[in-house]
A and B are shown apart, each in its own frame.
Chain A
Amino acid sequence: MSWILDHLDDIVSLTLRHTWLAGVPLVIGLLISLPLGWLANRHRRLRGAVIVGAGLLYTIPSLALFVLMPLLLGTGILDPINVVVAMTIYTIALLVRSVVDGLGSVPDEVARSATAMGYTPVRRFFGVDLPLAVPVIAAGLRVAAVSNVSIVSIASLIGVNQLGDLLVDGYNRAIGGELVAGILGCVLLALVLDLAIRLLERALTPWRRAGQGGAA
C-alpha cells in the first residue's frame, strides 16, 4: 500500500497511457467493424469469409503480433503505433462478429416496415438497424475492452510503457507492492471501461428502460 502512495504520479501517468493504448484501438476497431459487419450481414458469402478471417486474426498470439508489427508497418520496434495497430486488429477480430450478429438480430418485419415507410437503406441502417443492434454490439465491445486491457500490459515486454511496466519491474526487483499495484490498476481500468460501455449502451437504448418501467 505504501508503495502505491509513494509512486502515485507514475501510476497515474502509466494508467493514462494504458487507457490510450487500450481505448483508441477500441474506437478505431468499432469504426472499422461497423461497415465491415454491415457488408458481411448483407452478403452471405462475405459473411463466412469475414467471420473466418476474424477468427484467424484472433488466433495470432499477442506477443508474436506485437513483434511482427514493425515488419508489416515499417515502424521501429519501440513505436507505440505497433501496439495500437495490433490492438485494433484484435478489436476488429472480436467485434465484427458482434456487429454481424447484432444486425442479424433485427427482426425482419421491423426492417421491412422501415423500408415500407420510405427509409432509404442508409437512413434505415442508422435510424433502425444500428440502434436495435446496440445491445449485441455493446456486449462484444465489453469483451474486447476487458481483453484489450489485459493484452496491452504484455507490450511492456517489447518496451512500450503502460501499467504492465509495474508488473515487469515488480517481478524483476521482487517488489510485491508494485506488482499488486499493476494488477489492481489493470483490473480497475478494465472495470471502468466496462462500466463506461454499459452506461453508453443505456444512454443509446432509452426504449429498453421505458419497457422496464412500464412493466414494473
Chain B
Amino acid sequence: MSCNEDPELAAALERAQVTRRNFLATATVAAAAVATGCGNHGAVWEEYFQQHYKRLTDDDKRAIFARLEDEVRRRRGLRVHISDPAPMRGVEYGYALNLSACVGCRRCEYACAAENNTSRDPEVHYIKVLQMESGSIDVERSDSRYEGPVPAPGHFYMPVQCHQCRDAPCVKACPVGATWTEPDGITVVDYNWCIGCRYCEAACPYFARRFNFSEADIRPSEINPDQGYLSNRARPAGVVEKCTFCLHRVRRGEYPACLEACPTGARKFGNLLDPESEVRQVIDHKRVYVLHEEAGTAPRFYYFFD
C-alpha cells in the first residue's frame, strides 16, 4: 500500500526543502529591503498583478507560496507550510451522511473551523448542523442555534456543508472564474482572484459559501500550519471561501477533519469511482436522498437513514 505513504514522505521532504529555500529567500529579500529601504512594495505589486491560479506555472506557484508563507511569518510570527497537492486520476470525491446516526453534537463544525483556519470573530463555520423536526425534512422548520442536551426527543440532526455540486451554480455565477470545480470534484476558490461580489453566495442553494467581511481573526497559536493553497491558507478580507472537503488532507489520502471528529460514524467519505469505497457502499446499498435536488445542482453529497 504505497498511496498513503509516498505522498506523506514526499510532502515531508518537500517541507524540509521549502524551509531551506525560504530561509534563503527571506534572507535575500530582507537584505534587499534593507539596502533599498523600500519594504515590501514589490510584493504588493506582485500580488496585485498575480494571474489566475490556472495560468500559474509551477515556478509561479513556488514563488507565491513562499511569499505567502513569508507574509504569515512576518505578520503573525508563525511558520506555516503551504502546499498544493494535485488531484489524483480516477478519483471523484463524494460524501454521505447518516442522519440516523448524527446526534447533533457539533464536533464537526468546530473541527472544521480548527482545520481550515476560519475566522473566530466573526465566527465562520463552513458546517451548519440543523436540528430538524421529526416528520419533516423542511429546513425552514429547523433550528441551527439549538442548545441543551442532544439528541433531543422529537428531532433529528442534519449537518449541511458544501455539496460539491456536479453542476455548481456558484461556478456558473462567478463573473471572473475565481471559483471552479477541480477534476476530482472539489469546488475551490482562488482567494487572490475573487472580486468579492457575492453572486456565488446568492446562487448557492446550500448556504455553503462564506464571505470574509473582515480579515480572519484567529490567534496564531490556533492557526493550523498545514495549509493548502486552494483550501485553508490565510484568506484576505473581501473574498469568498468555502468547504473544500479539506482538499489539502484528502488529496494526501486522509479523511476530512469533520469526518475524523464525528463520534458517531455518521460521516462517510471516499472515491465515488471506487465501488469499494464507503461512500459508494452507502449509495449502492442504502436509500439515499439529495438536499434541494430540485435545484438541479447534482451534488456529490448524499444523506441517508439506516
A and B associate: no
Q: Enumerate chain B interface residues (CB-CB to A < 8 A).
A: none
Interfacial residues, chain A to chain B (CB-CB below 8 A): none
